[in-house]
Every structure is written in structure tokens, then in C-alpha cells.
């Protein structure tokens, strides 16, 4: 008889070749693994005997697996195709321990794809989804709609894990190939395949292809609509995603999560938190993915109250703080200026990865704790965690804000020599900033000239900022010219150079900068400061008088000015961009957004409570001096996050030591 000999359901060949039998009878070795009762099997497996898949998955060694396999064979537990398929899927899902054994169990001449599709599904869901492509190529029969459903899922998992899956091969190419194959085989119109294709293109970042695939679906179900919402949101088209989302009567937690994550992705964090509130009101289940997005939104806004609420939600519901969730908590607390809380979460985590360490290192750096940042980085090395490129950006910034020049340069040199990482442009920019802040301009220029890549805007911006700190007009002009040649509409750069001219009373230079801005169509971004109170974020724009409590704010501003003048405060008007009378200059800077937010904080927040302000621009010299003195006169701790870093004001001093 040609073909596979009869007798072994798993394709080992004739019964006399089956690892569990000899010529159709039980051998002595088989007698050992198939007793008349189950007493010879480990007691811990007794409850699993009703589930063959769970039984083989519990096998710890190949020998143990063969014994269990033999038991299932002789007991007839594998007679049905469904049990056969379940066992195969269980083996394929066992983190490569039993994958090779699973392949041996595949029938060579099947009359159905059920078992082979089970292998495909298990591989697509596993940690190495690329293995599903090989299994798909080896299918002994023509693939059906289930085969393509699992293949699409594997392509989606692959695209979601990394945009480049192999040299010269990217996620978009794989997605297109899988879709083309489904079209060619006539399975592209299956509803499950269609939904999967939309998700696949979304994971690959091809929103256009996702739109096209979605448009071809006559009656998209909730899964497909959710996939399209996710595709649009991930691709930055949040308004289109919201329109589709609002038109969907049935929304599962996946759709809610996609919408929240989409708003966070484009920086519209207030809308993200609003959608989260709606999600809770709708009674949708809140899981880890939701909370990670919520914490990210809180970090972007500096909304500590909401962030603390999210942390309490995790604790009150007994949720496990995974690496991902713990890292999001560390990042949120750090970006809200609550460094102690961030480090408490970090130290309490049982498991940390490179992203967790990097978030903690970055948090210390942005809060001006340079030495602690460097210490944590060294501790990271002792823990055997290899830093990545983002880690080095963080530690270089930490060294820069603390003036640790030699330590920072040694760190830069180790990026390539010790860790084998090619430096990013950001690493070069941070090192120029390191030298420039310390006033070591010769070293900064030498470093720039020795760069193996063309200096980018970050390098010249760092040099321009250093010129402002040390009032070096000529170097500032040089850096500005280089910067404008690369990025002609950089509003911050124009303002920095104007400030340099203004501080030296060079009003012609200020005028030239203003004319340059007009010629290049550059508009100065208006200053905006935000402060959280009673679960709501209050925004203040420079000169703004529209806040409902503005009358009280105006009275508080007058009181602040009066009390500060008693302490010797004189407004620093050197950075005012206009050649106007001194009294007018004082009026212009008195309504800077951070001063309005600070006054609101003093009238709205309970006495003794820390005031937290987030500003979209770099804090000016006068507002910095003003806030330092307020912290002393009103005995309040004030935390201000500006465009570059955090400032912690207490007792008339700032954590930046006037070095920002």
C-alpha cells in the first residue's frame, strides 16, 4: 500500500516505527508509560487528563512529552481531529520547547486543513510570528479562509513589533504580499480576512491601503470598524477616526483604546482624557493599554492629579504593575516633576527593562538632578542592562544641566567605543550643549568641526543658547546664521538672538531680527502656561484677561508686586524685544503667562500646597527671578516645566542654580 502506512494517527509511519508501540502491541517501555491506572502519571497532571492540549503543554522534557503522547494515543483521546488540532496548537505555543515535535505530528496527506491551520494559528499568536510564513508555504492542501486569517494575523504581529523585519524587507511589503496572495486565492472577501487586512495595514503604518481595504467591505462588522478607527488614529488622522468612532453604535474596549491612543499620539491629550471619561461612563472595561495611554496624556499635560488618580485606580483594583505600566508611571511622575514618586515606583518594580531604566534616568535629568542621573546610569550598567540610544540622550542631558562636562564627554565617547552604538545627531547636540553651557566655546567649536556628520539644527541651537547664557553676541550671530540656513522658520532661534541683542541694548540688532522674522514668515509662538486645579487644566496666554477669575488674579498680581518690591525686586526688562520706555517694558512682562498661572495658583490652591505650572516656551530671566522670590515671600514650593526642563523653586532658590 502506497502512501502513509495505517496505524499511527500522527504520521510516524508503520506502528512498528511509532515511538510508543512495537508491531501493533504494547512494548515493555510503553507499559511503563501506560499503566492500567493514572497513578504512574505525575499527580499534578491528574486534573488535566480531561484536556489533552493542557496535558502535553505541561510536559517539561521531550521524554515526558513522548510518554504523555503515548498515553493519549492508546487511550484514544486523540481520535478526533479537534483534539489532534488542539494538541498540535498547544505544542506550537510552548515557546519553542516542543515546536519541532509538533511538526513531526503533522499528517503528510491530510484530508482536511484543520490540524495545519491550528499550527498556523498558534505560530501567528506566538512570540515568533514569522514562523507562520514557513508553515503556510508547507501547507499540503490549498489554503482556505482560515489559513489566510492566521497568516494576516502573523503579518500584523510582525508589523506591530518592528517596521523592519529583515534587511531589505519591510512591513509594508509583507502586508502587500499577504493581501495579494489572499486576492489571488479568492479569500480576500472573507469577513475575517478583510478585518485582518485592515488591521495589518494599520500596524504597518499604511493608512491609505487600510482605507482602500476598508472601502471594499460591504458591511463592516464592529471588529473591522474598530480596526479602521485604530488605523486612522495611529496614522494621525484622529478627526476622521473620531467621526467613524462616533458613528459606531457598538464600541468595544479596543475601539475606545484606539481613540484615546490616537489623541495621545498627536499630542491632543485633553481630548484623550475626555474620551477616557466617556469610556468610563459607557461602562467599557479599562485595562492596561487604556491606562498606559491615560498616563502618557497626563505626562504630556503635566496633569499630576489625574496621573495620581490613574495610579490609584491600578492599586484599588489590584491590577498587576507590569513593566509597561510601571514604566508609564515612572514617566508620568517624572514629567509632572514628582521625582520622588517616580523613583518610588521604579524601586518597587520587580521587573524592569531598558525602557524603565531610561525613563528613570531621563526623569532625573529633566528635573535637574544631574549627579543622581549619572549615578543611576552607572547602576544600570552594574545591573547588566545594556543602554540604548535614548538612554544616552538622557544621561548626556543630565550631565549638561549639572555642568558635569568631563563625565558627559566620557559618556559620549563610550557610546561607540564601549557599546557599539553609532551616535545619533541628538548625542552630538547634547555634547555641544554640554560644552556651551559651561562656557567652553573653543571645545564646542572643535567638537563641531570634528563631527563626522553635517551639524544639524540641534547643534547650532545648542550653541546659540549657550551664547545667550554667556552673552556672547558674535558667537550667537554665527550660530544663528548657520541655524537659519537649515531651518529658516525656527521661531525660538530668532527669539534667542533677539534676546541676546536686547540684553546688550543693541536695538538695531533686535530690529534686524524682527525684520528677518517678517521676511521669512516666522511668527513667535505665544506664551502659554497651564496649571491643574480641581481636576481641570487652566490655560493662560501672555496678556490674557479672559479667565473667569481674572479680577482676583489681577488683585493677586498687584499684591505679589507690592510684597516683592519690599524685598528689593526690580523687574528685569533686558529681554524685552522692543525699544520702548522702561515703564512700558515692565507692563509687558508683568502679564507673562507663567505669572498669570502663578497668581491663579496662589488664590486657588490651599495654602502650603505645591504649585505646578507647565509652560510651552523657555521661561524668561525676569519670570525666573520673580518665581524664585515668590517661593520665598509666600513660602510656597513651585514646580515649573518649561520648554527645556523643570525648575523646582523653594525658599528663594531654583534647582537649576540659574543655569538653564
Higher pLDDT, 658 or 26: 658
In a domain, 647, yes or no: yes
What pLDDT does 11 receive? Answer: 31
Average pLDDT estimate for 292-297? 97
What pLDDT does 485 receive? Answer: 85
Grade residue 503 by pLDDT with cuts at 50, 70 and 90: confident
In a domain, 147, yes or no: no
What pLDDT does 484 receive? Answer: 82
What pLDDT does 174 receive? Answer: 87
The verdict on 542 and 471 lying in the same domain is: no
The answer to whether residue 384 scores a pLDDT higher than 70 is yes
What pLDDT does 504 receive? Answer: 72
Higher pLDDT, 576 or 143: 143
- Beta-carbon contacts of 224 under 8 Å, excluding residues fewer than 6 positions away, are 191, 194, 195, 198, 214, 217
The verdict on 544 and 485 lying in the same domain is: no
Domain hosting 499: range is 451-519
Give the global pTM. Answer: 0.76
- Beta-carbon contacts of 512 under 8 Å, excluding residues fewer than 6 positions away, are none
The verdict on 544 and 515 lying in the same domain is: no
Other Cβ atoms within 10 Å of 377 Cβ, number:
25
What pLDDT does 493 receive? Answer: 78
Q: Which of 501, 519, 537 is the last residue of a domain?
A: 519
The verdict on 466 and 559 lying in the same domain is: no
Q: Is 262 exposed, middle or buried (0-12, 13-18, 19+ CB in 10 A)?
A: buried
CA distance 464 to 458: 10
What pLDDT does 81 receive? Answer: 57
Which has the minimum average pLDDT: 17-21, 138-142, 243-247?
17-21
Average pLDDT estimate for 502-516? 79
The answer to whether residue 516 scores a pLDDT higher than 90 is no
In a domain, 583, yes or no: yes
The answer to whether residue 170 scores a pLDDT higher than 80 is no
What pLDDT does 216 receive? Answer: 87
The verdict on 601 and 489 lying in the same domain is: no
The verdict on 533 and 469 lying in the same domain is: no
- Beta-carbon contacts of 71 under 8 Å, excluding residues fewer than 6 positions away, are 33, 34, 41, 77
Q: pLDDT by residue (tens digit) across 598-646?
A: 999 999 999 989 999 999 988 888 899 999 999 999 999 999 999 888 9
Average pLDDT estimate for 487-502? 78
Planar angle of CA 105, 30, 3, nearest 5 degrees: 35
Q: pLDDT by residue (tens digit) across 411-449?
A: 999 999 999 999 999 999 999 999 999 999 999 999 999
Grade residue 85 by pLDDT with cuts at 50, 70 and 90: low
The answer to whether residue 37 scores a pLDDT higher than 80 is no
Of the candidates 202, 145, 212, the one whose C-alpha atom is nearest the C-alpha of residue 175 is 202
The verdict on 515 and 532 lying in the same domain is: no
Helices and strands (DSSP H and E) totals, the chain:
33, 8
* CATH code where residue 499 lies: 1.25.40
Q: Which of 519, 541, 573 is the last residue of a domain?
A: 519
CA 37 → CA 34, 40, 43, 56, 631, distances in Å? 8, 7, 12, 18, 79
In a domain, 465, yes or no: yes
Alpha carbon distance, N-terminus to C-terminus of the chain: 86
CA distance 377 to 390: 12
Q: pLDDT by residue (tens digit) across 297-334?
A: 999 998 999 999 999 999 999 999 999 999 999 999 99
The verdict on 584 and 467 lying in the same domain is: no
Of the candidates 197, 107, 98, the one whose C-alpha atom is nearest the C-alpha of residue 145 is 197
In a domain, 221, yes or no: no
The answer to whether residue 354 scores a pLDDT higher than 90 is yes
The verdict on 649 and 533 lying in the same domain is: yes
Grade residue 480 by pLDDT with cuts at 50, 70 and 90: confident
The verdict on 532 and 484 lying in the same domain is: no
What pLDDT does 65 receive? Answer: 53
Higher pLDDT, 66 or 282: 282
Q: Quick one: what percent of the chain has pLDDT higher than 70?
A: 79
Residues shown for the chain: 660
Average pLDDT estimate for 496-522? 78
In a domain, 146, yes or no: no
CA distance 617 to 60: 59
Q: pLDDT by residue (tens digit) across 104-158?
A: 555 555 667 877 787 788 788 877 788 888 889 888 889 999 999 999 999 988 8
Q: Which of 519, 551, 575 is the last residue of a domain?
A: 519
Cα R_g (the chain), whole angstroms = 32
Higher pLDDT, 582 or 421: 421
Grade residue 77 by pLDDT with cuts at 50, 70 and 90: low
CA distance 600 to 606: 11
What pLDDT does 260 receive? Answer: 96
In a domain, 256, yes or no: no
Q: Quick one: what percent of the chain has pLDDT higher than 90?
A: 50
User: What does the block give as the cell for 625?
Assistant: 527671578
What pLDDT does 109 receive? Answer: 56
In a domain, 46, yes or no: no
Higher pLDDT, 491 or 549: 549
Residue with cell 538622557: 394
The verdict on 569 and 627 lying in the same domain is: yes
Grade residue 573 by pLDDT with cuts at 50, 70 and 90: low
Q: Is 374 exposed, middle or buried (0-12, 13-18, 19+ CB in 10 A)?
A: buried
CA distance 284 to 267: 24
Grade residue 103 by pLDDT with cuts at 50, 70 and 90: low
The verdict on 497 and 541 lying in the same domain is: no
| Domains held by the chain: number | 2
Q: What is the mean pLDDT of the chain?
A: 82
Amino acid at each position: 500500500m502506497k502512501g502513509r502506512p495505517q496505524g499511527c494517527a500522527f504520521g510516524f509511519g508503520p506502528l512498528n516505527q511509532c515511538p510508543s508501540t512495537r508491531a501493533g502491541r504494547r512494548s515493555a517501555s510503553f507499559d511503563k508509560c501506560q499503566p492500567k491506572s493514572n497513578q504512574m502519571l505525575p499527580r499534578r497532571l491528574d486534573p488535566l487528563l480531561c484536556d489533552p492540549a493542557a496535558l502535553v503543554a505541561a510536559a517539561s522534557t521531550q521524554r515526558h512529552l513522548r510518554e504523555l503522547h503515548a498515553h493519549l494515543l492508546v487511550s484514544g483521546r486523540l481520535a478526533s481531529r479537534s483534539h489532534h488540532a488542539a494538541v498540535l496548537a498547544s505544542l506550537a505555543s510552548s515557546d519553542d520547547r516542543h515546536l519541532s515535535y509538533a511538526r513531526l505530528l503533522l499528517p503528510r496527506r491530510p484530508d482536511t486543513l484543520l490540524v495545519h491551520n491550528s499550527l498556523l494559528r498558534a505560530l501567528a499568536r506566538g512570540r515568533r510570528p514569522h514562523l507562520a510564513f514557513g508553515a503556510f508555504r508547507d501547507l499540503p492542501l490549498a489554503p482556505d479562509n482560515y489559513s489566510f486569517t492566521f497568516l494576516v494575523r502573523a503579518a500584523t504581529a510582525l508589523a506591530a513589533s518592528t517596521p523592519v523585519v529583515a534587511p531589505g524587507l519591510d512591513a509594508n511589503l509583507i502586508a502587500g504580499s499577504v493581501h495579494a496572495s489572499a486576492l489571488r486565492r479568492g479569500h480576500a472577501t472573507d469577513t475575517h480576512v478583510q478585518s485582518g487586512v485592515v488591521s495589518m495595514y494599520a500596524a504597518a503604518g499604511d493608512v491609505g491601503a487600510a482605507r482602500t481595504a476598508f472601502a471594499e467591505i460591504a458591511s463592516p462588522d464592529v471588529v473591522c470598524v474598530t480596526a479602521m478607527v485604530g488605523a486612522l488614529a495611529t496614522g494621525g488622522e484622529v478627526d476622521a477616526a473620531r467621526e467613524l468612532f462616533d458613528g459606531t453604535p457598538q464600541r468595544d474596549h479596543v475601539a475606545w483604546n484606539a481613540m484615546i491612543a490616537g489623541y495621545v499620539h498627536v499630542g491632543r491629550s485633553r481630548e484623550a482624557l475626555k474620551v477616557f471619561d466617556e469610556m468610563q461612563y459607557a461602562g467599557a472595561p479599562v485595562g492596561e493599554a487604556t491606562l498606559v495611554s491615560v498616563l502618557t496624556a497626563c505626562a504630556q499635560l503635566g496633569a499630576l492629579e489625574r496621573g495620581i488618580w490613574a495610579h490609584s485606580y491600578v492599586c484599588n483594583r489590584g491590577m498587576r504593575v507590569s513593566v509597561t505600566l510601571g514604566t508609564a508611571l515612572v514617566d508620568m511622575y517624572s514629567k509632572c516633576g514628582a521625582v520622588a514618586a517616580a523613583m518610588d515606583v521604579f524601586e518597587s518594580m520587580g521587573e524592569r527593562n531598558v525602557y524603565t531604566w531610561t525613563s528613570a534616568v531621563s526623569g532625573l535629568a529633566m528635573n535637574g538632578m544631574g549627579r543622581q542621573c549619572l549615578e543611576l546610569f552607572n547602576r544600570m550598567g552594574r545591573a547588566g542592562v545594556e543602554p540604548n540610544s535614548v538612554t544616552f540622550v538622557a544621561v548626556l542631558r543630565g550631565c549638561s544641566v549639572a555642568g558635569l562636562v568631563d563625565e558627559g564627554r566620557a559618556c559620549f565617547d563610550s557610546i561607540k567605543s564601549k557599546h557599539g552604538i553609532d551616535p545619533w545627531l541628538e548625542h552630538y547636540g547634547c555634547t555641544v550643549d554640554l560644552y556651551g553651557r559651561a562656557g567652553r566655546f573653543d571645545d564646542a567649536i572643535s567638537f563641531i568641526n570634528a563631527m563626522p556628520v553635517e551639524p544639524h539644527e540641534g547643534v547650532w541651537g545648542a550653541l546659540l543658547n549657550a551664547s545667550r547664557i554667556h552673552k556672547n553676541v558674535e558667537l550667537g550671530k554665527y550660530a544663528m546664521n548657520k541655524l537659519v540656513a537649515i531651518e529658516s522658520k525656527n521661531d525660538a532661534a530668532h527669539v534667542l538672538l533677539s534676546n541676546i541683542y536686547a540684553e546688550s541694548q543693541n536695538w538695531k540688532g533686535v530690529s534686524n531680527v524682527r525684520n528677518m522674522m517678517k521676511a521669512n514668515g516666522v511668527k513667535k509662538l505665544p506664551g502659554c502656561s497651564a496649571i491643574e486645579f480641581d481636576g481641570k487644566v487652566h490655560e493662560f496666554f501672555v496678556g490674557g484677561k479672559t479667565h473667569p477669575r481674572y479680577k482676583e488674579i489681577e488683585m493677586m498680581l498687584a499684591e505679589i508686586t507690592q510684597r516683592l518690591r519690599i524685598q528689593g525686586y526690580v523687574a528685569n526688562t533686558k529681554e524685552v524685544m522692543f525699544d520702548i520706555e522702561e515703564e512700558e517694558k515692565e507692563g509687558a512682562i508683568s502679564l507673562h503667562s507663567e505669572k498669570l498661572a502663578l497668581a491663579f495658583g496662589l488664590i486657588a490652591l490651599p495654602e502650603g500646597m505645591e504649585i505646578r505650572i507647565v509652560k510651552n516656551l523657555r521661561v524668561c530671566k525676569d519670570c525666573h527671578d520673580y518665581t524664585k522670590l515668590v517661593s520665598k515671600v509666600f513660602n510656597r514650593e513651585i514646580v515649573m516645566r518649561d520648554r527645556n526642563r523643570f525648575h523646582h523653586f523653594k525658599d528663594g532658590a531654583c534647582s537649576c542654580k540659574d543655569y538653564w
